[in-house]
Amino acid sequence: MKVKSERKRFFIGNQIEECRDLSGLYYLLPCEKGFTVKWTVQKPVWDYMFNNICHIEDKAVIMTQPLFNFKTIQEITDEIFFEEYEIKSMFRLNPCDLAKYEYVNNVVGKHVSCIVVDSGFSFTTIVPYIGGKKYYPAARRINVGGKVLTNYLKEIISYRQLHVMDETYVINQVKEDSCYVSSNFKEDMRIASSHGDANTIIKSYVLPDFNNIRRGYIQESGTGADNNAEGCQILRLNNERFTVPELLFHPSDIGIESVGIAECIVKSIFLCPEKDRPHLSKHIVLMGGNCKFPGFKERVYADLRSYLPDHWPVNVYKPENPITFAWKGGKALASDPKVKSLFITKEQYEERGSAYTYERFSDWLHGEKRTTEETPKLTNEAVPSSILQSGSFTRFDLFGKHELENEEPSDNVNENTSSDKLSKEATNDTKTDTGNGDNLKDNESSESRDIDVHQDDDSNKAKYKNSALMDTNETDLCDTNFFASYDFNIFNNSFI
């Protein structure tokens, strides 16, 4: 994502630190609905990433892309990476695949069916994986993400208190710092409407003035007078604190005709074959910045528990850092020796062009609506237990490079949500990485960190912020980070 402030200067990722006055900030986003459409914005971000932070020439790159990424977008991506950046090889896939990969291999440790819920900036996607493959018929998207929440909060604050419609950045921080998911909505409503000490929900939020206070914070009771004396602007947050995240669970509250997250998971489960349903409910993976709201996981669990039959086990897994979860998956994937066959090399690209990469990386192309093809694949898949088993992987493994068309199993669903998130995640994780990359990696990690400065800062308080920022940035930065980190991993581990 790009952030731009007053002058003719862009701030990319961590460069935001250099920005003095964050109040006039506005975003230049390369993405719309999770798809990269503004190449004039995207390209400089990549340039910055790959020129200054990490270098990807002659490396292998894993990149995330939204589900159903369009052909034209993929073509341009190919062109940029293969021809301009001269990477060695590339593999593109959906963030949910990575999350699933990470979950199956490093969390559960054995091969299971699971549902990945990715709640991102533009929307929330729910993708079930059965027997290692995406199950397209049950994949669902809810058009509510961090973006809507921030905009909604912005709107109600502007109406009820201060005019903040132009302060997306600040309000996003407010959202991350103060919002939470209510586990008992009616009760919280009652508390919020009471007066005096009985109201434990109401909080004062001190807005940043960018001189003394760089980032806003929730004011603890008792210290109010001092800050007031300094002339800070204060927001009173009452029911906003939980009605805003509530939109994820009840989009109908603002008239969006859609089911909420919990309901949607249930629907998705019931769209799957009957024998798999209890298994799916046992493995629900939450990822994406929205999951950082306090109480999110508990709420999902409580709602699911009440919706699903009581003899089904329900288990909701929220990774430590939901934002970087998919990135971790990518990191693990990169060091998996089997992944090599998934890549398309520069030579292959030069020989067969962009149409080829499009076919290889767009697994949804090969999914007939409700088909018979899946079963044989499943049996085959046992081989690469660790690797993404969303058809693509297995195909390649089994069939080598060229025969893709027929073989691709039907079911991969890519999520639209956003590659963005992943990329951000990627950046964060890079810090934590150990080992493999050596120098390169180290550099990368530090750099990526820098870029993600937003996130890092946020991470303290961040609930949502990440999601929103990330999304915006993510497409740009995240991707880049992602690439880079992967590159190193792969490079070191498996490719030399």
Partner 1 sequence: MTISKLTTRGSTRLKEHEKRRIVDDTSRKRRHRKMIESLDADNYHEDPHADLVMSKKIPKFEDNLETRTRSKKKEKSPEYYQMKFRKHILQLLDEDRVEAETAGRYSYMDMASEDTNIPYRHFCAVCGFFSQYVCLTCGMRYCTIKCMDTHTDTRCLKWAG
375 to 404, contacts with partner 1 by CB under 8 A?
A: none
Query: How many C-beta atoms lie closer than 10 Å to residue 102's C-beta?
Result: 26
Residue nearer to partner 1 on the CB measure, 137 or 289: 137
Rounded to a whole number of angstroms, the minimum distance from the CB of residue 369 to partner 1 is 6
Among positions 19, 107, 108, 156, the unique one binding partner 1 when judged by CB under 8 A? 156
Does 70 engage in binding with partner 1 (CB under 8 A)? yes
Q: Which of 21, 83, 230, 350 touches partner 1 by CB under 8 A? A: 83
Residue 381 CB, nearest distance to partner 1 (Å)? Answer: 20
Smallest gap from Cβ 482 to partner 1, in A, equals 20
250 interacts with partner 1 by CB under 8 A:
yes
Distance (Å, rounded) from C-alpha 138 to C-alpha 238?
37
What's the rounded Cα separation, in Å, for the pair 263 and 168?
29
- Give the residue, chosen from 213, 254, 383, 398, that forms a contact with partner 1 under the rule CB under 8 A: 254
Give bridge partners of residue 31 from the DSSP assignment: 36
For the bound state, the minimum distance from the C-beta of residue 337 to partner 1, rounded and expressed in Å, comes to 30
Separation between Cα atoms, residue 436 and residue 322, nearest integer Å: 23
Residue nearer to partner 1 on the CB measure, 156 or 234: 156
Tell me the window of 47-55, 276-284, 387-395, 481-489 that interacts with partner 1 (CB under 8 A).
47-55
Taking CB under 8 A as the binding criterion, the range among 26-34, 198-206, 309-317, 399-407 that sits at the site for partner 1 is 26-34
Residues in region 459-478 near partner 1 by CB under 8 A: 472
13 binds partner 1 (CB under 8 A): no
* Two tokens, residue 247: 């939109």
Please report whether residue 180 would count as binding partner 1 according to CB under 8 A: no
Residue 305 touching partner 1 (CB under 8 A): no
Packed helices 479-490 and 325-334: angle between N→C axes, nearest 10 degrees: 30
Per-position DSSP letters for 373-408, written without gaps between them:
THHHHHHHHTSSSSS--STHHHHHHHH-SS-HHHH-
Beta strands 133-134; 124-130: pairing state: antiparallel
Q: Which parts of 352-371 interact with partner 1 (CB under 8 A)?
A: 364-369
Assess 168 for contact with partner 1 (CB under 8 A).
Answer: yes
Instruction: Kindly indicate which of the ranges 263-271, 342-350, 388-396, 418-426 contains the residues binding partner 1, using the contact rule CB under 8 A.
Output: 263-271
Work out whether 19 is an interface residue with partner 1 (CB under 8 A): no
**Cβ 385 to partner 1, closest distance in Å?**
26
Provide the minimum distance between the beta carbon of 296 and partner 1 in the complex, in angstroms, as a whole number.
18
Out of 257, 274, 310, 320, the only residue in the binding site for partner 1 (CB under 8 A) is: 257
Structure token digits, residue 196: 């005096």
Helix (H) or strand (E) holding 62: strand 60-64
Residues 424-463 that bind partner 1 (CB under 8 A): none
Closest to partner 1 by CB, 159 or 315: 159
29 binds partner 1 (CB under 8 A): yes
Residues 147-152: contacts with CB within 8 Å, 24+ apart?
Answer: 147/121, 147/122, 147/468, 147/471, 148/247, 148/256, 149/175, 149/179, 149/244, 149/245, 149/247, 149/248, 149/290, 149/464, 149/468, 150/175, 150/464, 150/468, 152/244, 152/247, 152/254
Helical ranges in 273-324 per DSSP H: 277-282, 296-307
The span from the CA of 41 to the CA of 63, in Å, is: 18
The burial of 97, by beta-carbon neighbours within 10 Å (0-12 exposed, 13-18 middle, 19 or more buried), is given as buried
